[in-house]
Amino acid sequence: MDEAEFRAQNERRARDEAEVERKHAILSAEEFRDRERSARDAAVKAEEAREKFERLEERARLTREETEGKLKTLKEDGEKTEKELAKARRREAQLADLQPVHEPTRAEHEQTKRDRQYIEGRLHLAIAGMAGSGKSSLINAFRGVSKGTASAAATGVVETTRVIGRYEDPHPDRSKFVWYDIPGAGTTNVSNSNYFITQGLYIFDAIITLFDSRFVDTDITILENCKKFNIPAFIVRSKSDEHIKAIADEMREALDEDESEDEDDVRSKDREARRTRIDADAREEYISVTRRNVKENLQNAGLDDQQRVYLISRRTLLRIVRGKHVAPTKLIDEYELIKDVMAAIKERRIDPPPFKPERSGSYFSWGGWGRR
């Protein structure tokens, strides 16, 4: 093979290889375009799928919220219905239980006065409540006597007696006052329907219904009948100092349990600030919760929910009656209770001893009250 043929052969081979490479390049370009097209299609489909998923997710969220809203409404309606049914059942029971067996006749009225040693011209006040609510302690405080003294009413966790206790005030300036300790319905063989009449509560000049932890049906019955017989009635919660202390102790315990060794200065200062507010916070919580609960009970019973509940401590009341110093932080409703009881008696029956409150610092005194 001469040189010319050899060169021609190499040129043909080069052209063939170039053609092959060209075809490969064309195929590669087409494959790239196909892959690019597929990638774009896949991206479009992915975006469509994402948008569809988001639409489904939003629809599911709206459906869930709508369902939750309906469930919440159904729950609220159910609770409201249940509450209304409970209220209706309670009112039905109270209406059946409220009406006394009969109206006391004049003869029965006079006999009850004799049985209770009622003396015309004096002020007869009854304190009614469940066993352990602190009736005797409250009577002692109103009379200015301490537990254990000769003239003190017997006190105890359980009902000390099932007999109505009668206690005259030993102070000469308050000799018109006679206090009665009425056993709770739960400690007698008397049902709610007969309680007010059987215990002769209709003869009293004023009635204090006393509770410790919870407001019960007997309290409602007393209030209903007081309204019927036009007798001033006062709702009083006793042992307020003990209840406030218990709440404060729980707050301190919760604060201590939440303490950590590695807390920073800010949290430490905040904790100490909260600790200094515990007594005030406990007092505020006790007052607000008690007033709210009593208001709800009065509403459920169909009574005037604006009637005040007096929160008291017998220790504070005793100091007031004795004319001793009382720190403002210790006072809740003791002063107002005495004032309002006296005002109600004066309006309804006869004039009580002079009631002229005077405030000097933290001291309170008036008429026969607050002077030893």
Note down pLDDT in tens along the chain; length 372 residues.
Answer: 677 777 777 778 878 787 778 878 788 878 888 888 888 888 888 888 888 888 888 888 888 888 888 888 888 877 777 667 666 655 665 555 545 446 788 888 899 899 999 998 889 999 998 877 888 889 999 999 887 654 555 554 444 446 888 999 888 888 889 999 998 765 445 556 678 888 899 999 999 999 987 877 888 888 988 988 889 999 999 999 999 999 999 998 888 877 665 666 667 777 788 888 999 999 999 999 999 999 988 988 888 889 999 999 999 999 999 888 888 888 999 999 999 998 888 776 555 454 444 444 333 444 444 433
CA distances from 22 to 19, 27, 301 (A): 5, 9, 99
* 3-state class (DSSP) for residue 122: coil
Question: Is the Cβ–Cβ distance between 203 and 276 less than 8 Å?
Answer: no
Q: In whole angstroms, what is the distance from residue 196 CA to residue 226 CA?
A: 9
Q: What one-character DSSP code corresponds to residue 329?
A: G
Here the tokens at position 158 are 């359980």
**Is 49 exposed, middle or buried (CB count within 10 Å of its CB: 0-12, 13-18, 19+)?**
exposed
The Cβ of residue 191 has, within 10 Å, a number of other Cβ atoms equal to 13
By the 10 Å C-beta count (0-12 exposed, 13-18 middle, 19+ buried), 164 is classed as middle
Tokens of 341: 């009881």
pTM of the predicted model as reported, rounded to 2 decimal places: 0.65
**Helix (H) or strand (E) run with residue 277 in it:** none
Nearest to 181 by CA among 228, 151, 140: 140
